[in-house]
Amino acid sequence: MFDWMYWTTPVAIFFSCIVLMLIGMTIWEIKSPTTLRKGFLPLKTTRGDRLFIGLLTAAYINLAFVGLAGRMAEWLALESEPSIWISFIASMAVLALIMRRG
């Protein structure tokens, strides 16, 4: 079914983290309903809103990294493309920041 997609360990871990976050957020929402709050984002958001915005941001960070990895190798005179783990860690950090302070 998924033969068309190249599943690397970082990609599988990234999607596993998303599934675990969605399950965790669902349980959290059932136990403790959320309220609107204002953080650094320019609108009042709920936990679910911040998760959605954070997941979109994480996806764009990963896509940008994959798209620019070849160029970064040229610019920085690297022997091979930088590890995808860099974008995974950066995207999860940004997601955590948005969830906490957004």
Q: Name the band, by pLDDT with cuts 50, 70 and 90, for residue 48.
A: confident
pLDDT value of residue 7: 74
Rg (C-alpha) for the chain, rounded Å, is: 16
β-strand partners of 37: 45
Answer yes or no: is pLDDT of 2 > 70: no
98 confidence band (pLDDT: 50, 70, 90): very high
3-state secondary structure 31-55: HCCCCCECCCCCCCECHHHHHHHHH
> To the nearest whole number, what is the mean pLDDT of the chain?
86
Give yes or no for a contact between 81 and 66, defined as CB atoms under 8 angstroms apart: no
Largest Cα span, the chain: 51
Strand partners, 47: none
Single pTM value for the model: 0.73
